[in-house]
Structure 1
Amino acid sequence: MMTPAHATDVSYDVLSFDQLDGWAADDHAAALKVFLNTCRDMKDPDWRALCKYAAQGPEPRQFFELFFRPVVIDDGQDAMFTGYFEPELEGDKYRSGRYRYPVYAIPPDHLRTLSRRELLDGGALSGRGLEIAWVDDPVELFFLQIQGSGRIKLPDGSYIRVGYRGSNGHEYRSIGVELVRRGVYQPHQVSAEVIKNWVRRNPVEGRDLLFHNPSYVFFREVSKVPADQGPLGAMNRSVTAMRSIAVDPSFVKLGSPVWVEKDGKKPLRRLMMAQDTGSAIKGAQRADVFFGTGDRAGKEAGKLRDPGRMVVLMPIQRAYALLPESAI
């Protein structure tokens, strides 16, 4: 487990499994299947040994209870769960009157540090052969960058799948927060759909609002990923709807099982896997839940902004190594 060098106030609390709300009722077999999808890419000897044993088909709940201990990592920040999804856009491989907005591959180093406005208004990316595809909606393209991956449906019904390749290094700034600051909406009113509709109703101001976020994401084509599987996460494996989360890897090791206790209108108690990251996901108790592909998943993901608790399942020796000697 890694923690940031500056995070001197991080604390760890090792729990027992009977302290996890709803643990016994979960589908541990489904969770184990998702764990196996990425555990083989974890290089540490203890994780490799656990993965090898998991592949032999143990009883799922016993596997987690026998070899792991639940650990609450507290960095002093309140827990927050949000949602993300894989958007589906309409596009083509070639520019036309309808498809006018490019999805860019990563440019040479000397262009990567420019802001969103400089890259787009300044034309720094045009004419360099970096276009992976062209889409019909700049607002959907903006949200594709926030999600970090997506599918582009071509006129013939086939798809191009794109995944995160890199960014320009500028810090992400929320346009939802900016709309609240301007007094356009109250915090509880803001969602992805609300933002999209406002930008479309106000095209001039809306375009300028999108530039409020200087961060710009570049993509790579990942069309080899089968259509029935999720997009590639940070571990270069497909993520699974409602079983994969994005975390801050400086606190939570990628590939780790994480028990999610999400509160709010639709409480969620489920064992998920930390298989992705996100530029806005910062903190020990911060997670983004993957909802799936398409508009329906997007609407559900956009509603999620709830408190709760994250509990990381660590290999036993790692968990106990975090405790002071007096507590062992």
Structure 2
Amino acid sequence: MVHQTIRTSRPSASRASSRISSMRRRYGWALIVGMLAGCASVPLPEPVPATAPPPAPSAAAPADEAAPGAPLLQGRSRWVPVRWNELPGFDDDALHEAWNAWLRSCERPPAAFAALCPQVRQLSIGSAQEQRAWMRERLQPYRIEPLQGAAEGLLTAYYEPLLDASRQPTARHTVPLYRPPATLASRKPWYSRQEIDTQPEPRAQLRGREIVWLADPIEALVLQIQGSGRLRITEPDGSVRMARLAYAGSNEQPYRSVGGWLLQQGAVRDASWPGIRSWLRDNPQRQQELLWSNPRVVFFREEPLGDLEAAFGPRGAQGVALTPGRSIAVDKESIPYGTPVWLASSGPVVTLNRLVLAQDTGSAIVGALRADWFAGWGAEAGELAGRLKQPLRLWALWPR
């Protein structure tokens, strides 16, 4: 799943956090324990020693007293070994909530974690104390630092919009969402958003590729920026069914923020989505101009949304379903997919000290200390995601 971060502004982060927590309680690990039959290994780049690999702690030394060892280099980042007591809030996190995400990663683990996956599955019914003790014994925490630049990172969030759609165009539903065109690979970049709207050739190549129609072109833009969404689709017979539209490709045009476009013109001072919508109410004649300021178009595929699928998010770049509140998008050149990560962030929106899994990426997620937190789905998750922009610290938890 590839996405960009989108911002809105509403004072209901606490309601969103509560909703995410309730969803995790409802769809806990019991839903999937025993369903993962094995861990297929997917080769991924592994950290290489900067000087020498860190030694394992001696059997007689507690984990927090063991000599950490030497730093590792991983792509755009430096991993500095630390003791477990450096991780803020490690003894307080509800680790069983993160085990859902870890079990998902074990469907396609990095090579370094494949041997640990049977134990991860067994510990899904273990106590928090057992899970914590196992992590201290088998994993080494590394503080993630950039090779150059500031040591403080940035945390944002993303989510799945929940929208109404029609299977057929209507007087109200006039905005199509498309499957990838057959000619997508033959032209790079493919046609821009403005070219699709104004030129006959790209429109002809998209004819018959429509999945659903939406009523609001701004909602369609939001869905494309987030990369996936949940839809209540009205079928031709009048029935309504739930489905997910998942990322299936893009026209590979550059992503441009419509909020940034308005700021550059001095048109707004508030580039959040409420601010953008307020500007549109005052300037409806410029809506198309605003849409065309972002040339990137995302194409989708439709996926079922049964009870099991509804408990998780879309598949991320690792190829596994995302877990609300426990999956993050990262720069894969700094943190390999499937890596358990300790995340710490404090700010005006939310305080987070928790175990998460690196399972996705995004075009705006670049650098060692950059992460996008998957907040879940629906309007409240969207409000939380739209407001979250806070300092970030990260620790990779790598096998000893």
Q: TM-score range by the shorter chain?
A: 0.7 to 0.9
Range that drifts further, 220-229 or 251-260: 220-229
SS in 2 for 1:307: strand
Distance 1:200 1:238, change over 3 A: farther
CA contact (8 A) 1:54 1:63 kept: no
Partner of 1:298: 382
Partner of 1:258: 341
Partner of 2:119: 53
Choose the corresponding residue for 1:64, options 118, 131, 135: 135
Choose the corresponding residue for 1:138, options 204, 214, 217: 217
Distance 1:29 1:211, change over 3 A: same
SS in 2 for 1:154: strand
Report deviation, 1:79: 0.7
Deviations, residues 209-238 of structure 1 (Å, cap 9, x unaligned): 222222211111112553333222223332
Within 5 A, what are the aligned runs for 1:153-302? Answer: 153-155=232-234, 156-186=239-269, 189-224=270-305, 226-265=309-348, 266-302=350-386
Range that drifts further, 233-242 or 298-307: 233-242
Partner of 2:89: 22
CA contact (8 A) 1:40 1:48 kept: no
Distance 1:67 1:201, change over 3 A: farther
SS in 1 for 2:115: helix
Within 5 A, what are the aligned runs for 1:16-165? Answer: 16-44=83-111, 46-57=112-123, 59-75=130-146, 76=149, 78-107=152-181, 108=183, 109-111=185-187, 113-123=190-200, 124-126=202-204, 128-155=207-234, 156-165=239-248
Distance 1:244 1:93, change over 3 A: same
The 2-side partners of 1:134 and 1:258 are apart by 39
Partner of 1:325: none
In the TM superposition, structure 1's runs of 4+ consecutive aligned residues that sit over 3 Å from their partners are 7-10
Range that drifts further, 71-80 or 272-281: 71-80
Report deviation, 1:168: 1.4
The 1-side partners of 2:122 and 2:86 are apart by 28
Percent of aligned positions that are identical: 37
CA contact (8 A) 2:180 2:248 kept: yes
Deviations, residues 155-183 of structure 1 (Å, cap 9, x unaligned): 33312211001111122222222222222
Distance 1:152 1:8, change over 3 A: closer
The 1-side partners of 2:328 and 2:263 are apart by 27
TM-score normalised by structure 1 residue count: 0.87
Range that drifts further, 280-289 or 34-43: 34-43
Distance 1:254 1:230, change over 3 A: same
Structure 1 or 2, whichever has the larger Rg, is: 2
Deviations, residues 130-158 of structure 1 (Å, cap 9, x unaligned): 11111111101101011100012123331
TM-score normalised by structure 2 residue count: 0.72
Report deviation, 1:103: 0.6
SS in 2 for 1:114: coil
The 2-side partners of 1:238 and 1:217 are apart by 20
Structure 1 unaligned regions, length at least 5:
317-328
CA contact (8 A) 2:243 2:305 kept: no
The 1-side partners of 2:323 and 2:78 are apart by 30
Query: What is the one-letter code of the residue matched to 1:159?
Result: M
Distance 1:293 1:10, change over 3 A: closer
Query: What is the one-letter code of the residue matched to 1:99?
Result: H
